[in-house]
Amino acid sequence: MSLKFYFDHAQKLSFEHKEIVRDFDYYLSAIGITSTAIALKDDLEISEQQLASVDNFFTSYVEGIPLDYILNESSFLDFTFYVDSRVLIPRPETELIVEKVIDFALNKNANVLDVGTGSGCISISLGMLRPDLKILASDISLDALDVAAINLQNHKVTNVLLIQSNWLAYAKTESVDLVISNPPYLKPDDIHLGYLTHEPKSALISPKGIKSFLEISHQAFIALKHGGRIIFEHGYSQRLEVTEILQDCGFKNIITESDLQGLDRFIYAQKL
Q: Do residue 90 and residue 213 come from a single domain?
A: yes
> Is 69 a member of any domain?
no
pLDDT of 35 strictly over 60: no
Q: Do residue 22 and residue 87 come from a single domain?
A: no
Task: Give pLDDT, residue 90.
Answer: 95
Q: Indicate the pTM of the whole model.
A: 0.89
pLDDT of 220 strictly over 90: yes
Q: Do residue 106 and residue 163 come from a single domain?
A: yes
Task: Give pLDDT, residue 47.
Answer: 75
- Three-state secondary structure readout of the chain: CEHHHHHHHHHHHCCCCCCHHHHHHHHHHHCCCCHHHHHCCCCCECCHHHHHHHHHHHHHHHCCCCHHHHHCCEEECCEEECCCCCCCCCCHHHHHHHHHHHHCCCCCCCEEEEECCCCCHHHHHHHHHCCCCEEEEEECCHHHHHHHHHHHHHHCCCCEEEEECCCCCCCCCCCEEEEEECCCCECCCCHHHHHCCCCCHHHCECHHHCHHHHHHHHHHHHHEEEEEEEEEECCCCCHHHHHHHHHHHCCEEEEEEECCCCCEEEEEEECC
Task: Give pLDDT, residue 43.
Answer: 61
Mean pLDDT of the 9-15 span: 82
Question: pLDDT for 179-189, tens place per residue?
Answer: 999 998 887 87
> Is 187 a member of any domain?
yes
Q: Do residue 42 and residue 125 come from a single domain?
A: no
Q: Do residue 119 and residue 38 come from a single domain?
A: no
> Is 157 a member of any domain?
yes
Q: Do residue 205 and residue 96 come from a single domain?
A: yes
Query: Containing domain of residue 24, as a range?
Result: 3-64
* C-alpha span between 237 and 44 (Å, rounded): 50
> Is 80 a member of any domain?
yes
Q: Do residue 90 and residue 18 come from a single domain?
A: no
Task: Give pLDDT, residue 192.
Answer: 73
* Least confident among 2-6, 16-20, 153-157, 172-176: 2-6
Q: Do residue 120 and residue 184 come from a single domain?
A: yes
Domain count, the chain: 2
Mean pLDDT of the 109-129 span: 97
Mean pLDDT of the 79-94 span: 95
pLDDT interval class at 82 (50, 70, 90)? very high
Last residue within a domain, chosen from 18, 38, 64: 64
Mean pLDDT of the 185-200 span: 77
Mean pLDDT of the 189-196 span: 74
Q: Do residue 152 and residue 233 come from a single domain?
A: yes
> Is 82 a member of any domain?
yes
pLDDT of 32 strictly over 70: yes
CATH code of residue 79: 3.40.50.150
Percent of the chain with pLDDT over 90: 61
Q: Which residue has the higher pLDDT, 229 or 64?
A: 229
pLDDT of 41 strictly over 90: no
Q: Do residue 18 and residue 90 come from a single domain?
A: no
pLDDT of 178 strictly over 80: yes
